[in-house]
Chain A
């Protein structure tokens, strides 16, 4: 996995960003970290708060795990990762308590639970522990942003349907009667299921298009080759 020889370029940066947000989106493609996804997306504000808090923890823990990757013994690496992650979670929690008290109160216990978010441990284990610091921090950021995007999408849909508001601002007026189920747990599962189904559909469609394109290109190449032979 470790490629010290290759230089880190803008191109690989963009590639990582695209992979984290779209191709390997932690929530919608890898289906990791379901607990905060389902529990905290009752509104857009909560979703952004949760997403960004996780992103910060993810980026910093990836960076430090990558820096320490040669010093952490293989046998106790999980415990070491958790110690690093929980350090950053505690810091984020205290900062949120100090500067974003409302958000801190509405997210409640789920901020502390970032420690056990499996996206973070997965990236630590799969990426940061055998890559250089710079790609690791970018990986943390892009995965975190992918998580945030998915949460925002889910939070927006649920808030519009379940409360008739976006980030607390009413959009349909007084007479609108929202479907309360969407801000309940059942609504979270249904919305997430539909979103994942939609994303998978889009992925298969684009994969098929890609394949068709390649096939067409191959055929064109074959045809032109054939033409040359004659």
Chain B
């Protein structure tokens, strides 16, 4: 994450560095995201691939272009821009207009990442910030979920229904878990995201602390304060709906914007979970995961 040519690097632990560290980690993250991407193709057809490709290409070109323009060493090879690009595409519905991707990529890479000093120095997760930027700027584009190809499910999103205090009609917990529902490209299948998460755990790219404390906090709060249906039933819906899994496994665990110590990570996950539930219950929007992670990012 740090430039090897720097003579003296002042940073909090960990101090161990390796030249290919970032690249290897990012490659693992990309591999871990593939199941979810494949699943979105199964559900929505080829459009997710198109959006992801546009997003990744824009992220890479903005990173390369900015660093050339500012005469800084190019770090495109570390693949972090690719990860940001995929995550950004994961956060939009498959119906979103393609031109949203370059705009989001510009925001993520140039404004959130490079203007703050590049990789390892950004204060919030670029993909999250770009998602929020797109979401706040073009709300209709980011909430226009379409019916998945394979299975006709309810048109209203599960979270929208839950917010109004009803259990989504025709959507079982199993559907939600497997991803037989509408939603953003990368967030629909909890199963595929968990497979990716387990791969990251096995490869020791992430530790269990943030995802587990994040999800457990949401689960406990959902059991205690269900908005609809039975306690456990509501908990299952709350866990598998929206971008919670994607956020907990891939976005909250970003190295730059999450704590270094294990205790810190547990606390970070708890904060994310608490804020997610608070925003889902009392906020203006049905989903709060991205806002919660960004707020916690700022506290790190």
- Which residues on A are within 8 Å of B, measured CB to CB? 177-182, 184, 186, 190, 194, 197
Contacts and interface: CB of A to CB of B under 8 A. Distances in A.
Given A179-B103, A181-B133, A190 B138 contact: no
Interface in B133-150: 133, 136-139, 141
Contacts of A186: 136
A116 B133 CA distance: 32
A199 to B, nearest CB: 14
B111 A180 contact: no
B232 interface: no
A181 to B, nearest CB: 4
Contacts of B103: 179
A179 B133 CA distance: 9
Nearest to B112: A190
Interface centre among A179, A182, A186, A194 (most CB of B within 10 A): A179
B136 A197 contact: no
Chain B contact residues: helix, strand, loop or mixed = helix
A66 to B, nearest CB: 42
Given A184-B136, A194-B115, 7 more contacts: A178-B137, A179-B103, A179-B138, A180-B139, A181-B136, A194-B111, A197-B115
Give the most central of A177, A184, A190, A197: most B CB within 10 Å: A177
Contacts of B141: 177
13 contacts: A177-B141, A178-B137, A179-B103, A179-B133, A179-B137, A180-B139, A181-B133, A181-B136, A181-B137, A184-B136, A186-B136, A190-B111, A194-B111
Interface residues on B, range: under 10
Contacts of B115: 194, 197
Contacts of A178: 137
Contacts of B136: 180-181, 184, 186
Interface string B110-140: 0100010000000000000000010011110
Contacts of A184: 136
A181 B137 CA distance: 5
A162 B141 CA distance: 15
A174 to B, nearest CB: 15
Contacts of B133: 179, 181
A186 B136 CA distance: 10
Nearest to B97: A177
Contacts of B138: 177, 179-180
Contacts of A177: 138, 141
Contacts of B137: 178-182
Nearest to B100: A177
Instruction: Report, nearest first, the 9 A-B pairs whose CB atoms are least far apart.
Output: A179-B137, A181-B137, A181-B136, A180-B137, A181-B133, A177-B138, A180-B136, A184-B136, A190-B111
A194 B137 CA distance: 18
